[in-house]
């Protein structure tokens, strides 16, 4: 693995490696429940939540056929039926990925269901989670239900294909791109077809995700394939800005050259890719960086794409997101969206190692989507203005860690969250925005990064207030105040899943009001909880000026 890749992905390695320790779910497997889904019968297990209450888990259920052989890179096919009773006691394999070592399997399209009731008339609200991991690593297996199920909802997690295997685009009918996004659609269709058998309400499905998973949620809001498959959405620290409108096919050929084939023929390239061991088709993101990508933007590069249109090929996304938003082509459901106050903590240490480059060429701070719209002269000017806004007329130093964090938070997460909330609200009434700022012993990633001396909640920290696992178990069990905080945070998420509103009364000391164009309301998720207006206003106004000058959709107007 390259030095660049190691630096960029330190956080993601921590997440996946550490969470793998927490996969073993403490449960008593007796009175094993049996449920009939469309393809056959599945046997799950009885377990006990952290609060001692019983629940049922069904793990490793196929929601699509194995995407192997000639199905590699293609949209998923429906799952195959089986005879007899299939065990759903153990997790299915995670999708093929590289994280320190090669892991997972191509046969990985499995779904997990956690529920406290198997009464078909229970009609419990359903929450379907999409994991993050820069589209290169992660799994739904690592997110356990203990905190959320205390509020009487059903949690569904699943695996989707990653990196080249999930996002290769050759701009052909066979491989138009977005196979992983179509995996997610297949999982949502499976939920519609089967969740009633687990006590769930197929008419009350909340799709939520974090980081790359949140980017996916924002795209499901725009995709015609996803229409009617969910009824509420939560996007945690991510929007559609990672979409690859151009350049995906060129990256595929660069990957081919790295793997030993130099050709200009997409069919030859495809045959070669299908002949390779799946391990070869991981760990290629940094290897395919252009010189500009080494320093600009987040490391994710095998991404959702705007597909070319082909006869009899259903596209997940065939228009750029901005156009869909302008034309009002969205799946209009209530939206909860937000970011963490210190998202940029995940990038701070990497950034410090390359301060000489950024101080000399601050134009690398300019986001890719702006670069594509401006001249080289403007690019230099924008870079200088960004540097000057954050530190004045001097270079950034190792003593500016909080400033670096704020800058990276704004560039990669905060402004795009504001922008999406604003644009979506212009089309739909029910948008709720938050800023997560808890800083406790549950901030597992901030602690792992060794940055507890800095302010804010890191990228990914809110996950440990929503999902129980080995990494937060000790702190949660030993501190009553943390149990109280977790209950309040998860109640916000589950109240939204139940009603489309994250607070129904004043039990937190404040009511979370909807975002409006005029007030830019947001909820401070910290003690004390409070309603605010225009989070990080001065910094957001600066970025809005740049987006306006670049002619992009922005907050202050179209």
Q: How far is CA 234 from CA 48, 171, 382, 418, 484, in A?
A: 27, 31, 32, 14, 22
Neighbours of 126 (CB within 10 A): 28
- Active-site annotation holds for 27: no
Pairing of strands 521-525, 431-436: parallel
Cβ neighbours of residue 50 closer than 8 Å, sequence gap 6 or more: 146, 147, 468, 476, 477
Q: What angle do CA 436, 241, 373 make, to 5 degrees?
A: 130
Interatomic CA distance for residues 99 and 138, integer angstroms: 9
Interatomic CA distance for residues 416 and 421, integer angstroms: 8
3-class DSSP string for 119-181: CCCCCEEEEEEECCCCCCCCCHHHCECHHHHCCCCEEEEECCCCHHHHHCCCCCCCCCCCHHH
- Are 128 and 230 spatial neighbours (Cβ–Cβ below 8 Å)? yes
- Are 220 and 226 spatial neighbours (Cβ–Cβ below 8 Å)? yes
416: left (phi over 0), alpha (psi -120 to 50) or beta: alpha
The pair of structure tokens assigned to 549 is 């000058």
- Active-site residue (options: 134, 204, 211, 341): 211
Neighbours of 309 (CB within 10 A): 10
Q: What count of residues does the chain have?
A: 558
Interatomic CA distance for residues 396 and 200, integer angstroms: 53
- Are 107 and 96 spatial neighbours (Cβ–Cβ below 8 Å)? no
Active site (catalytic) residues: 211
């Amino acid at each position: 693995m390259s030095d660049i890749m190691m630096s960029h992905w330190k956080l993601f390695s921590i997440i996946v490696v550490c969470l793998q320790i927490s996969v073993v779910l403490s449960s008593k497997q007796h009175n094993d429940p049996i449920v009939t889904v469309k393809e056959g019968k599945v046997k799950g297990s009885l377990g006990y939540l952290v609060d001692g209450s019983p629940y049922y888990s069904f793990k490793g259920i196929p929601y699509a056929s194995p995407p192997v052989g000639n199905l590699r890179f293609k949209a998923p096919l429906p799952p195959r039926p089986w005879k007899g009773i299939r065990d759903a006691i153990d997790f299915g394999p995670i999708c093929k990925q590289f994280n320190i070592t090669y892991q997972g399997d191509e046969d990985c399209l499995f779904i997990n269901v956690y529920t406290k009731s198997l009464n078909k008339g229970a009609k419990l609200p359903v929450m379907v989670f999409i994991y993050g991991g820069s589209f290169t690593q992660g799994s739904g297996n690592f997110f356990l239900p203990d905190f959320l199920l205390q509020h009487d909802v059903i949690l569904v997690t699943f695996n989707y294909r990653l990196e080249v295997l999930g996002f290769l685009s050759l701009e052909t009918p066979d491989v138009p791109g977005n196979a992983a996004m179509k995996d997610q659609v297949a999982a949502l269709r499976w939920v519609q077809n089967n969740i009633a058998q687990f006590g769930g309400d197929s008419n009350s499905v909340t799709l939520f995700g974090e980081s790359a998973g949140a980017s996916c949620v924002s795209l499901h809001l725009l995709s015609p394939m996803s229409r009617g498959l969910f009824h509420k959405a939560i996007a945690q620290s991510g929007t559609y800005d990672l979409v690859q409108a151009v350049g995906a096919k060129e990256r595929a050929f660069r990957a081919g050259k790295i793997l030993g084939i130099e050709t200009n023929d997409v069919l030859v390239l495809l045959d070669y890719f299908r002949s390779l061991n799946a391990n070869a088709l991981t760990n290629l993101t940094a290897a395919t960086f252009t010189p500009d990508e080494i320093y600009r933007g987040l490391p994710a590069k095998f991404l959702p794409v705007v597909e070319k249109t082909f006869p009899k090929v259903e596209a997940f996304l065939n228009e750029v997101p901005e156009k869909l938003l302008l034309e009002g082509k969205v799946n209009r459901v209530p939206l909860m969206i937000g970011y963490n106050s210190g998202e940029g903590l995940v990038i701070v240490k990497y950034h410090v190692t390359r301060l000489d480059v950024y101080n000399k060429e601050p134009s690398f701070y300019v986001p890719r989507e702006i670069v594509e719209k401006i001249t080289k002269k403007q690019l230099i000017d924008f870079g200088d203005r960004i540097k000057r806004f954050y530190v004045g007329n001097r270079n950034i130093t190792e003593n500016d860690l909080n400033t670096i964090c704020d800058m990276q938070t704004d560039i990669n997460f905060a402004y795009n969250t504001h922008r999406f909330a604003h644009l979506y609200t212009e089309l739909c009434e029910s948008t709720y925005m938050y800023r997560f700022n808890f800083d406790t012993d549950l901030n597992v990633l901030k602690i792992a990064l060794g940055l507890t001396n800095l302010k804010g909640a890191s990228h990914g920290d809110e996950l440990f207030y929503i999902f129980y696992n080995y990494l937060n178990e000790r702190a949660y069990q030993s501190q009553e105040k943390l149990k109280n905080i977790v209950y309040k945070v998860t109640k916000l998420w589950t109240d939204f899943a139940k009603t489309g509103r994250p607070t129904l009364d004043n039990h937190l000391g404040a009511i979370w009001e909807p975002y409006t164009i005029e007030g830019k309301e947001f909820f401070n998720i910290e003690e004390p909880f409070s309603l605010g207006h225009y989070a990080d206003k001065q910094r957001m106004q600066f970025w809005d000026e740049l987006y306006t000058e670049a002619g992009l959709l922005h907050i202050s107007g179209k």
